[in-house]
C-alpha cells in the first residue's frame, strides 16, 4: 500500500504551527524524493498534542503529537526512510500502548466520527466513509417523511445546542405547519466554549452537517436552508462553501434531489457578527433577515412563524452531525448509548486546569469525574480538583463532591448547571469562585441585547456587587441581594440569555458560600486570586536582601538595607504584586 502522511490543519493545529510543519514535510518530500502521499485533515480532538501528524503504512497507523519542524525531520528520516516508527513521539496507534490511550479509548465518536480522518475539502472522502448514504437510503427506499421524523424521535436525540428539546418533536411541529415555503437553519454561532466544537465539526466534517440539514429539509419539506456562522470562523466558512459547491455538483443540493420529485432544496451561509444572544433562535432569525439580533416573544414559535414568517426549524451543528448516522444505523443503535432520558453521545470542549484539553465525545451517562480524570488526564501540576463549569457563560459551577454526577440533561440540570452546547471548564484549588462568577457574568452582561430591563440593568447591578466583593468592599447582605436579583432576572427576562445569566452566581453561592463570606467578612480571598484582598509579606527565611523588591516598588513601601531582611509597610502597600513577581528567591509570601 502507498504510505500516507497526514497533517492536521484545523484552526487549533494551525495556531500551534501545523502549517509550518506541513510546508516542511512538503519541502522534504520534494527535495529528497520521498515516496509517500501527503494529505491534509482537520482537528482530531487532541488539541493538547497539536501539531499532529499521522503516518499510515503497511505496518499500521501512527499518530505523532507535538510535532514541530525539527521533530518532523526526525520522524520522516526514521519512519519513512528507515521504516522505524519513532515510538516516543506516538500518541495513538493500534500496535502498542501510549499514555494517551485513555483519552481515546473512552470515547464514542458519532458526531466527530469523521473529524481528523479525512480531507474535509474532498467530498469523495466523505462518501468513502458512508457519507450521503443516509439521504440515499431515504431516496432509494422512498421513506415517507413522517417515518424519517419518527426515526429521529425514536432515537431520543435531543437538541445539542443547550435546551435539549427532542429533535424529532421539533421536526414534527415544523412538518405539521403546511406552507409552500419553509426553512431549515443550522445555528453555528453559539458563543460559549462549545462553539469550539461547532467550529471543529464545520472545519473537519462539513458534509455531515449538510447531509443532516438535507435530511431535515426532506422531513419537514423545507425549500431553503441557512447556516448561520460567525465571521470569526474563516476556515469553517471556507470549507463550508467548498462543501456546498461539491454537494450541488453531485446532486445532493438543488432541484429534485436524488430523483425525489419536488424535493428542491439549497443552502447558503449567513455570516454573523458573533453575538451571543443570536444563539437564541428568534434573535438569530432577526439577524438573518437583516435586523438587529434581538429576541421576540414566543409564541408564535419558529415552527409556525420563523424566517420570513414561514415555518422554520433550527438546530445546531452537533445535532445535524448526528442525523445521518442515526438514519443510516437506525434509532435502536443510537439508543444503545446514554441514559433513559438522554440518549446517544455528547461532545465537550475540555478546557481550564486540565492536562488534556481538547474535544471529547462521551456516551451519555458517563460521570463528570471520569470525563475529567480519564479522558482529561486529571488536574495540571497535581493540584486539587475544585469545580467544573458546564454550559458556557450561562452555565453553572459543579463542585468536586458532585463530580460523580452523570452526563445527562436531567442530572446536570439538577446541580444548577446546564449541558449547554458542550463547554466544560475545569478549575483547581487556585481558582477563586467569585472571580469565576464575575468573569462569566461580565460576558453575559456585555452580550445582553438590552431589550429587557431585568437583563440589561439587573446583570449590571450584579456585576457591580461582585466587583465590590472582590475589591474588598463587600458588605453584609450582598449575598442575599445577589440571590434576589438573580431570581428576578431569571423570572422576568424574555430569552434564554437573561434567564440563565445568573447561573454562575447562583451555583457559586450555593456550593461556595464560604468563599463569599470570607471575601465579605474577613476581607480575604482563600484562593489568593483577588489582589485587593491579598497581604504581601517578606519571608525572613528566604530573603537575601538583594533589594530588587525595594527598587521596583512603586510606592517605596519596602524597607531594608542591602543583604538584610526586608520589611513591607502594610499601610502604604497598594497590593500591586510587583514585589511578588520580581523576587527571584520566592521570598514574598501571600496571605
Question: pLDDT per position in the chain (591 positions), as tens?
Answer: 789 999 999 999 999 999 999 999 999 999 999 999 999 999 889 999 999 999 999 999 999 999 999 999 999 999 999 999 999 999 999 999 999 999 988 899 999 999 999 999 999 999 999 999 999 999 999 999 999 999 999 999 999 877 789 999 999 999 999 999 999 999 987 655 446 778 899 999 999 999 999 999 999 999 999 999 988 889 999 999 999 999 999 999 999 999 999 999 999 999 988 788 888 899 999 999 999 989 998 899 999 999 999 999 999 999 999 999 999 999 999 999 999 999 999 999 999 999 999 999 999 999 999 999 999 999 999 999 999 999 888 889 999 999 999 999 999 999 999 988 788 999 999 999 999 999 999 999 998 888 999 999 999 999 999 999 999 999 999 999 999 999 999 999 988 888 999 999 999 999 999 999 999 999 999 999 998 899 999 999 999 999 999 899 999 999 988 999 999 999 999 988 899 989 999 999 998
90, β-bridge pairs: 64
The model's pTM = 0.93
**Is residue 227 within 8 Å of 455, Cβ to Cβ?**
no
The CATH code that applies to domain 123-334 is 3.40.50.11540
pLDDT tens track for 164-178? 899 999 999 999 999
> Range(s) for CATH 3.10.20.600 in the chain?
345-428
Q: What crossing angle do the helices spanning 145-155 and 167-176 adopt, rounded to 10°?
A: 150
Under a CB-based contact definition with an 8 Å cutoff, are residues 567 and 505 in contact? no
pLDDT of residue 155: 97
CATH 3.40.630.30 at 534-590, yes or no: no
Q: Where are the beta strands (DSSP E) in 252-331?
A: 266-272, 312-316
Residue with cell 474588598: 472
d(CA 241, CA 246): 9
The CATH number of domain 4-101, selected from 3.90.1200.10, 3.30.365.10, 3.40.50.300, 3.40.30.10: 3.40.30.10
| Residues 344/34, Cβ–Cβ less than 8 Å | no
Cell numbers 433513559 correspond to 340
Whether CATH 3.10.20.600 fits 345-428: yes
From-to residues of CATH 3.30.70.20 in the chain = 534-590
List, by residue range, all CATH 1.20.1440.230 domains of the chain. 433-522
User: What's the CA angle centered on 329, arms 92 and 343, to 5 degrees?
Assistant: 80
Fold designation for 433-522:
de novo design (two linked rop proteins) (1.20.1440)
Residue ranges of the chain assigned to CATH 3.40.30.10: 4-101
In the chain, ranges of CATH 3.40.50.11540 domains: 123-334
CA angle 183, 213, 124 (to 5 degrees): 140
Q: How many angstroms separate the CA atoms of 160 and 172, rounded? A: 17
Amino acid at each position: 500500500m502507498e504510505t500516507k502522511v497526514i497533517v492536521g490543519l484545523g484552526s487549533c493545529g494551525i495556531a500551534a504551527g501545523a502549517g509550518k510543519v506541513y510546508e516542511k514535510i512538503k519541502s522534504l518530500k520534494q527535495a529528497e524524493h520521498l515516496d509517500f502521499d501527503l494529505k491534509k485533515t482537520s482537528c482530531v480532538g487532541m488539541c493538547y498534542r497539536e501539531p499532529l501528524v499521522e503516518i499510515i503504512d503497511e505496518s499500521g497507523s501512527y499518530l505523532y503529537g507535538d510535532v514541530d519542524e525539527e521533530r518532523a525531520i526526525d520522524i520522516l528520516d526514521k519512519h519513512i526512510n528507515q521504516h522505524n516508527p519513532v515510538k516516543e513521539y506516538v500518541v495513538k496507534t493500534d500496535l502498542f500502548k501510549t499514555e494517551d490511550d485513555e483519552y481515546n479509548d473512552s470515547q464514542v465518536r458519532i458526531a466527530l466520527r469523521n473529524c481528523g480522518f479525512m480531507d474535509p475539502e474532498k467530498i469523495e472522502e466523505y462518501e468513502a466513509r458512508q457519507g450521503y448514504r443516509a439521504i440515499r437510503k431515504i431516496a432509494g427506499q422512498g421513506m415517507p417523511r413522517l417515518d424519517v421524523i419518527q426515526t429521529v424521535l425514536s432515537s431520543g436525540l435531543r437538541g445539542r445546542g443547550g435546551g435539549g428539546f427532542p429533535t424529532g418533536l421539533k421536526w414534527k411541529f415544523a412538518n405539521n405547519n403546511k406552507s409552500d415555503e419553509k426553512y431549515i437553519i443550522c445555528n453555528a454561532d453559539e458563543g460559549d466554549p462549545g462553539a469550539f466544537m461547532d467550529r471543529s465539526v464545520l472545519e473537519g466534517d462539513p458534509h455531515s452537517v449538510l447531509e443532516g440539514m438535507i435530511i431535515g429539509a426532506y422531513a419537514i419539506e423545507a425549500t431553503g436552508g441557512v447556516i448561520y456562522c460567525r465571521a470569526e470562523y474563516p476556515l469553517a466558512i471556507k470549507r463550508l462553501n467548498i462543501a456546498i459547491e461539491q454537494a450541488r455538483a453531485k446532486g445532493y443540493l438543488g432541484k429534485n434531489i436524488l430523483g425525489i420529485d419536488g424535493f428542491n432544496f439549497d443552502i447558503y451561509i449567513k455570516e454573523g457578527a458573533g453575538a451571543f444572544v443570536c444563539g437564541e433562535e428568534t434573535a438569530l432569525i432577526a439577524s438573518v433577515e437583516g435586523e438587529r439580533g434581538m429576541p421576540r416573544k414566543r409564541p408564535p414559535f419558529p415552527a409556525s412563524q420563523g424566517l420570513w414568517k414561514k415555518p422554520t426549524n433550527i438546530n445546531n451543528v452537533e445535532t445535524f452531525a448526528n442525523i445521518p448516522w442515526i438514519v443510516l444505523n437506525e434509532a435502536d443503535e443510537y439508543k444503545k448509548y446514554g441514559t433513559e432520558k438522554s440518549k446517544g453521545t455528547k461532545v465537550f470542549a475540555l478546557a481550564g486546569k486540565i492536562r488534556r484539553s481538547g474535544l471529547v465525545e462521551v456516551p451519555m451517562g458517563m460521570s463528570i469525574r471520569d470525563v475529567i480524570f480519564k479522558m482529561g488526564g486529571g488536574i495540571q501540576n497535581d493540584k486539587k480538583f475544585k469545580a467544573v463549569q458546564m454550559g458556557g457563560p450561562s452555565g453553572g459551577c459543579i463542585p468536586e463532591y458532585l463530580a460523580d454526577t452523570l452526563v445527562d440533561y436531567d442530572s446536570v440540570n439538577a446541580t444548577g448547571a446546564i449541558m449547554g452546547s458542550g463547554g466544560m471548564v475545569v478549575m483547581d484549588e487556585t481558582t477563586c469562585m467569585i472571580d469565576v462568577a464575575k468573569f462569566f457574568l461580565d460576558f453575559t452582561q456585555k452580550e445582553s441585547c438590552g431589550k429587557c430591563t431585568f437583563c440589561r440593568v439587573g446583570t449590571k447591578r450584579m456585576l457591580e456587587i461582585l466587583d465590590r466583593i472582590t475589591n474588598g468592599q463587600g458588605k453584609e447582605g450582598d449575598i442575599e441581594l445577589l440571590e434576589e436579583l438573580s431570581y428576578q432576572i431569571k423570572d422576568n427576562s424574555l430569552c434564554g440569555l437573561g434567564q440563565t445569566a445568573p447561573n454562575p452566581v447562583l451555583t457559586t453561592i450555593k456550593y461556595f458560600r464560604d468563599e463569599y463570606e470570607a471575601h465579605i467578612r474577613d476581607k480575604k480571598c482563600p484562593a489568593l486570586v483577588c489582589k485587593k484582598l491579598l497581604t504581601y509579606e517578606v519571608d525572613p527565611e528566604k530573603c537575601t536582601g538583594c533589594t530588587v523588591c525595594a527598587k521596583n516598588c512603586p510606592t517605596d513601601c519596602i524597607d531594608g538595607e542591602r543583604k538584610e531582611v526586608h520589611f513591607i509597610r502594610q499601610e502604604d502597600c497598594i497590593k500591586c504584586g510587583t514585589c511578588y513577581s520580581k523576587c527571584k528567591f520566592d521570598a514574598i509570601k501571600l496571605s
